[in-house]
Amino acid sequence: MKKYLRPKQSIPVVTGIIILSVLFGVAYSNWMAPATENLYKKMSIFNTVLRTIEHNYVEKKDPIALIDDAIRGMVKNLDPHTNYMTAEEVKKWNVDFKGYSGIGIRFDIINNKITVMSVLPNGPSEKLGFRAGDRIIKINGESAIGIKRDDVPKKLMGPAGTTVDVTIERETWGKPKDFTIIRKKIQVDSIPIALKLDNKVGYVKIDRFSATTGRELEESLTKLESQGIDRLILDLRGNSGGYLQMAVEVSEKFLPEKKMIVYTKGRIPQAYREYYSTGTAKHRTYPLIVLINHSSASASEIVSGAIQDWDRGLIVGQTSFGKGLVQTQYPLADGSVLMITTARYYTPSGRLIQRDYENKSYEDYIKEAYNDTLRQKELKDLPKFKTFAGRTVYGGGGINPDFWMKDKTPAPSEFVMKLFIDPNRYLYSYSEELLRNHPEIKEMTPKQFPNEFKISEAEIKGFANFVMKKGYKAKLDDFIKGSKDFKYLLKREIAYRLWKTEGQFYVNYQRDTVLKKAKDLFPDAEKLLAASTLKIK
């Protein structure tokens, strides 16, 4: 969770030292001198170590990379979330949370070619008719075959309004075609899917809390309400956070005005701040269920914590991550950024969101977040609080759900997972063949597809032969054992090609036991809402 403030300036600090020296005389200067002298000695030793490594180490090392590593080493012992990002890492972070200027595609490198995995809505590529499976073989007249993955954005991204020439190869074309694309500001959606499930249940998935999440949610709720929903599931599973202000905006969609959403408290008085709903939301107060899991963190925990404290909706799933530290961003001269913890987040009832991290390695801290047995066992030792309707909730360990529920779908085998993440994208490539062999798929709707399209055992054997002919070392028996998972993954690939996130959602929905069970809890959500202290519209 990132809180953005202007960096503190060093001049007032230096001035303060000078003033104190004048007021308290030589005694203050004598007290400060040893500390300053020791600091300069250590800085001199650091410089000597750096130069010694640079000139004498057995292998050549980049001194800039060594300094970056040293900075990371300095901050890593403060807490698990204080962080240092290089200028390049900042750029990548900004793409996810602020957007970028480019041509509006998601890509991968398959068989040494830039392959379009999806085309972003309303982007320049969509307007030119690009689609999943297209291959970019030239950029600005130069061959792009064999290009490195990290070099692709450097060539395709650029200032909005500028142009880039690409040559596209498509299986159904006799020869490649040339296009000139005008780059445009691209916002990566934080809400990949918002749709009406059966029985007037609305469903909204928020992937991250980016600069546009508040607006996206408003548009999604307006659309769903026009379709007649009278209940809502807000899915925050896997959402690791983002902007504090967006967490506030999302929360206030479901709360009346002047209700506290979160407050921050730190070492200095200025770190204390309260955030309230503004009453700008115009939506009906329908029963609400919020889904969380161990990967729901930071902004997700602010939202689910506020909803739970005000008894506005049921929290369903697994205990959230427990990341309740506020990072203030301090930009540095070279474009890098220091994220320093300056405060902690507390829910309206006074619960600390942050999980204990003292005397633990970073690896253990992360592992414990995903340990179901440990998270449930430690519950009895956490401090108890009351919601505004009098229910008992717990602090200091993330947000604990009202209904604990774990996805019971068996995890895929190691063989299946290795093939799934293989950079050659065999599943994607074979899905092309399945699409060619089954033209009837294109006559189906995204909702019909998962149930009506069947992949045969013969086709799984065909997939095995396809993969092994490419040089992948495996046995046919490995594919047969993983047949159920491969059928699911191949359907995901086909669905995403044809219908993007909506198609993929319906394939995933078949296996999403938590979402299916959560729908049965709306009677409990209705009772909770009726018992809350909120004025129901």
Whether 487 sits among the annotated catalytic residues: the reply is no
DSSP conformational letter for 331 = E
CB atoms within 10 A of CB 513: 13
User: Phi then psi for 105, rounded to 5 degrees?
Assistant: -135, 160
Supply 476's token pair. Answer: 């046919």
Tell me the C-alpha distance between 214 and 218, whole Å: 6
User: Token digits for 40?
Assistant: 């300069």
- Helix (H, G, I), strand (E, B), or coil: what is residue 482? coil
DSSP H or E segment with residue 182: strand 177-182
**Of 323, 487, 491, 500, which residue is the catalytic one?**
323
Q: Nearest Cα to 143, choosing from 167, 125, 164, 115?
A: 167
C-alpha torsion sign, points 95, 97, 98, 99 = positive
* Residue in 134, 189, 207, 309 annotated catalytic: 309
Give the bridge partners for 289, in sequence order: 233, 314
Query: Is residue 223 annotated as a catalytic residue, yes or no?
Result: no
- Asked about 298 being catalytic, the answer comes back as yes
Q: Which of 220, 277, 298, 300 is catalytic?
A: 298
d(CA 125, CA 445): 24
Cβ–Cβ under 8 Å, residues 328 and 339:
yes
What's the rounded Cα separation, in Å, for the pair 175 and 373? Answer: 58
266-273 long-range contacts (CB < 8 A, ≥24 apart) are 266/326, 266/342, 266/343, 266/344, 267/342, 271/326, 271/342, 271/343, 272/343, 273/343
Q: How far apart are CA 421 and CA 424, in angstroms?
A: 8
How far is it, in rounded angstroms, from Cα 138 to Cα 400?
52
What gap in Å lies between CA 237 and CA 227, rounded to an integer? 25
- Tell me which residues are annotated as active site: 298, 309, 323
